[in-house]
Structure 1
Amino acid sequence: MTASERLREELERRNAKLAKINAALMQRVERSMDYQANAYSIFQTAIGLETQVKARTEELKSALDRLERTNEQLISARDGAERANRFKTGFFTSVSHDLLQPLHAARLSLSALAEIQDAQQQKRLVGQVDHALSTIEELLRTILDLSKLESGALKPSLQVIDVESLFRSVMLDMEPIARAKGLGLTVRTRDAAVISDPLMLRRILQNLLANAVQYTDRGRVLLSGRICGSRLRIDVWDTGPGIAPSEQTMIFEEFRRGAAGQRSPALGFGVGLSIIARMSEALGHRIGLCSKMGHGTRFSVYVPLADETSAAGRLPARPQPSASRAYGLAGVKAIVIDNDRGVREAMGALLDRWGCEARFVGGLSDIENLIGGEPDFQPDIVLADFHLDAGESGLTSVARLRQGGSGSIPAIVITADHSREVAEAVAEAGCEILRKPVKPAELRALITHLVG
């Protein structure tokens, strides 16, 4: 019970008491009138009643004033808490964006450096630094997810999702990690479609698979789907140490790691399963857990199946395999649009190692100079940062290049902004999107696909 409610209840008791006193006093007046015909006695009784009513009225007024002051204090405290929460969310988002910029440049530089080193010791050091950057990247993404979940900015956009394509995508990300640990990684796909948010569902499965690989020392990890009525139960199985019954509820809480997590040398905040649970709650997907100590664990996500009508109307066509161009990007002409000099230099070193011919600009004004100064330079690909100086967007420069004679030149927008608005703007402009810090292998594969 809050202070306001307690005070209100006290006032109601006092009012009831006052009503009883008034009734008793009125009875006394009536008795006085019945038994004492003395006018002076009646007058004195009335005076006494008026005094008591005035005193009770003053008490009631004082109590109402205190209640009003308490309400003002509660409103002030609530506004302060909301301001603090907005500040925290803005801080996390700002820090994540600002730190992802140098991480992006560092990763590109390291990749170029790793390709030209001959000394084994130097390559080992480069690998260690790259691993550290990957760890920092994952922690920053966790902070970004927390800020979005806390602020309510992470809202689902439900679509029809092809299960086979989804499974294939998440497995590609995890195969190198599982292979490095000597684990088997298998998938049992279903020819089915589900209704969910593609980005959020993919992140849920990625986190579950990452946890399974991290805590499994030998054996295998399995991703599978099973139809259960109107839902598809997506399972992630592992042959790890299992989760004790006493920990199976606790591990979904923030900053809580089970016994297996505490023994693991991997870094983390202990919020991975909490984020999974909150994303699933936002999507309306139930999470299941079944585990046996010493034998392994199964996490399940129950996702609604799409009916045949909606699936036929909205499901994107699966890409058909086709012959690709030879490995390498020798001779590819590229334009890099980025306001950060360090990023331009790092990207230049990387593209040079790949045999590309590149031009580097900081924004729209440089694009105009490039079009006027090198009219014969016809790019095959554009790599553009989304946020440039003075509120300018990289999409504006891409559009100008396309208007300047480059036609439907493919473009990749590289950004640290994970908002849905940016993703929608990039898609509407007919561009591909990559999140900072970009993995060079991923960037090269996408460039090869777009210019092939």
Structure 2
Amino acid sequence: MNKDGRPASPGQHDALEELERRNQKLAKINAALMQRVERSMDYQANAYSMFQTAIGLETQVRVRTEELKSALNRLERANDQLTIARDSAERANRFKTGFFTAVGHDLLQPLHAARLSLSALAEMRDDPQQGRLIGQVDHALSTIEELLRTILDLSRLESGALKPSFQAVEVLDLFRSVLVDIEPIARDKGLALTMRSRDVAVTSDPLMLRRILQNLLANAVQYTEQGHVLIATRRRGAMLRIDVWDTGPGIAPQERTKIFDEFHRGAAAQRSHAGGFGVGLSIIARMSEALGHRLELCSKVGRGTRFSIHVPFAGDAPSVRALRDGVHKAATQADPLSGIKAVVIDNDAGVRDAMRALLERWGCEVHPFGGLAELDATLVSEPSFRPDIILADYHLDAGESGLASVSRLRDTAGRAIQAVVITADHSPEVTDAVAAAGCEILRKPVKPAELRALVMHLVG
């Protein structure tokens, strides 16, 4: 309808509808534009928020980076300090090992001479009482020798240079040997000292196993005031368990992990005012670890203690004993060495004299020299001199090696004269050098029976 109330004409009606459609279309466009504007404003807000977040994260990253750089610098400084400390410790360890090796050689020299002299004296004895005294002195020298070797072996254990020499060891002989040292002390304290074992053998290093048992028994006797000390064996499958029992005060639980530390002396030691430096159990632990023998401790306070070491079982002992008796029989025969020409090369006059006395008692013709210079002088004056065997010390004066004298004698003779190098140096370098020269090696102090058996084997 028009403004005056009259009905609209068809043309006007169409125009109104067209305007209505345009109006609706504009409304939709407007709504779409408003949505776009709103989304754009949201995007801007989000972008601004993300921008602020990025700035915050960048600040945090910068702070963390600075902290990380600081930590890395501290770590680098700590690593430098650790490297310096490690190098210092390695130098100290090398010095200590070298010191003990050098000192051990000097300490074992007089023992070596004493053992040789005592053996020569033993062969001249007529009085049984003199024989018993000689036996006691010989055993005392052996004990001192083993204690010195323990110190040297600990040094080599720490440096990784000591490698156990595994062989069949007769248990009963080992027990008797250890008890001889401990029995007088136990008797003075009124303790019963007993052993219990079948005639069997184990596989171990005989010297290291003996030191372990010797230390265990010494500790047991030292801290036991009354009762008894027992060393015994029990078969456990493929292993033989060697037990050392005592009726001492026992070890408190809180001390059982500490007693294997160096220089630790527990409450029992303080109560008994026992001497020593507290290294016995430390030696036991280290040697057991080197041998691969498991060590056990069982103790009850006020009742006593049992230390056990598990050693591989090697069977019955008769075969081992037969081999040992055969070597002993060969070493005690006198005739095979009669008239043998032996050259002794050693820079120590006492060792030369002792070796000469021993070899002459065996019927050898001995020619001692202090080194290559003396030997050359003899070869010049006696160009036809030809020994049957050479016994040479490895370390001579002025850095000279006994191998040089061996080489000179062999060159002069035009043949490989049998030679034995005698040394207290256990280093792999010396062992390799002796083997490369085609010589046998014996460690000081040499046991006369072992030396005799080897000489007979080489010249026989």
Normalized against structure 1, the TM-score is what? 0.64
Structure 1 residues 98 and 156, CA, compared in 2 at 3 Å: closer, same or farther?
closer
Q: Which amino acid aligns with 1:411?
A: V
Aligned 1:105-184 pairs, distance under 5 A: 105-107=109-111, 138=147, 141-154=149-162, 159=166, 161-164=167-170, 168=173, 171-172=176-177, 174=178, 177-178=181-182, 180-181=184-185
TM-superposed CA distance for 1:281, in Å, is 2.9
Residue equivalent to 2:262? 254
* Alignment of 1:67 onto 2:61: no
List gaps (5 residues or longer) in structure 1: 1-31, 116-126
Structure 1 residues 132 and 281, CA, compared in 2 at 3 Å: closer, same or farther?
closer
* Aligned match for 2:323, one of 318, 329, 337: 318
- Answer yes or no: is the 8 Å Cα contact 1:240–1:297 preserved in 2: yes
* Alignment of 1:277 onto 2:285: yes
**SS of residue paired to 1:251:** coil
CA radius of gyration, larger in? 2
Any idea what the Cα deviations from partners look like across 1:250-292, whole Å, max 9, x if unmatched?
322221134565547654x322212222332344322123457
* Alignment of 1:359 onto 2:357: no
- Answer yes or no: is the 8 Å Cα contact 1:96–1:141 preserved in 2: no
Aligned 1:25-424 pairs, distance under 5 A: 34=39, 36=41, 48-107=52-111, 138=147, 141-154=149-162, 159=166, 161-164=167-170, 168=173, 171-172=176-177, 174=178, 177-178=181-182, 180-181=184-185, 188-194=197-203, 196=204, 200-211=208-219, 223-237=231-245, 241=248, 243-246=250-253, 247-258=255-266, 261=269, 263=272, 267=276, 269-290=277-298, 297-305=305-313, 318-321=323-326, 322=329, 324-325=332-333, 334-338=342-346, 341=347, 344-351=348-355, 354=358, 356=360, 357-363=366-372, 367-375=375-383, 379=387, 382-388=390-396, 393-395=401-403, 397-398=405-406, 401=409, 405=413, 409=418, 411-415=420-424, 417-419=425-427, 422=430
- Answer yes or no: is the 8 Å Cα contact 1:254–1:271 preserved in 2: yes
**SS of residue paired to 2:324:** coil
List gaps (5 residues or longer) in structure 2: 1-36, 122-135, 188-192, 361-365
CA distance in 1, matches of 2:387, 2:196: 40
TM-superposed CA distance for 1:419, in Å, is 3.8
Structure 1 residues 210 and 360, CA, compared in 2 at 3 Å: closer, same or farther?
farther
Q: Which amino acid aligns with 2:443?
A: L
Any idea what the Cα deviations from partners look like across 1:144-163, whole Å, max 9, x if unmatched?
44443444444556x5x323
TM-superposed CA distance for 1:382, in Å, is 4.1
Any idea what the Cα deviations from partners look like across 1:340-375, whole Å, max 9, x if unmatched?
x5xx12213434655744412335x65555444445
Structure 1 residues 422 and 448, CA, compared in 2 at 3 Å: closer, same or farther?
same
- Answer yes or no: is the 8 Å Cα contact 2:104–2:152 preserved in 1: no
Any idea what the Cα deviations from partners look like across 1:290-317, whole Å, max 9, x if unmatched?
4577886543211234599xx9xxx997
CA distance in 2, matches of 1:377, 1:211: 56
Work out the number of aligned pairs and report it.
Answer: 384
Any idea what the Cα deviations from partners look like across 1:204-252, whole Å, max 9, x if unmatched?
3444355456667899866543321121112345x67453345544322
TM-superposed CA distance for 1:69, in Å, is 1.0
**SS of residue paired to 1:79:** helix
CA distance in 2, matches of 1:43, 1:182: 92
**SS of residue paired to 1:384:** strand
CA distance in 1, matches of 2:231, 2:105: 34
CA distance in 1, matches of 2:428, 2:222: 30
Q: CA RMSD in A?
A: 5.0
CA distance in 2, matches of 1:373, 1:245: 74
TM-superposed CA distance for 1:93, in Å, is 0.9
CA distance in 2, matches of 1:217, 1:335: 54
Structure 1 residues 203 and 110, CA, compared in 2 at 3 Å: closer, same or farther?
closer
Structure 1 residues 412 and 187, CA, compared in 2 at 3 Å: closer, same or farther?
farther
Normalized against structure 2, the TM-score is what? 0.63
Structure 1 residues 57 and 413, CA, compared in 2 at 3 Å: closer, same or farther?
same
Q: Which amino acid aligns with 2:235?
A: I
- Answer yes or no: is the 8 Å Cα contact 1:163–1:189 preserved in 2: no
Structure 1 residues 106 and 319, CA, compared in 2 at 3 Å: closer, same or farther?
closer
Q: Which amino acid aligns with 2:173?
A: R
**SS of residue paired to 2:323:** coil
- Paired-residue identity, %: 39
Structure 1 residues 261 and 136, CA, compared in 2 at 3 Å: closer, same or farther?
farther
Q: Which amino acid aligns with 2:369?
A: F
- Answer yes or no: is the 8 Å Cα contact 2:244–2:306 preserved in 1: yes
- Answer yes or no: is the 8 Å Cα contact 1:387–1:393 preserved in 2: yes
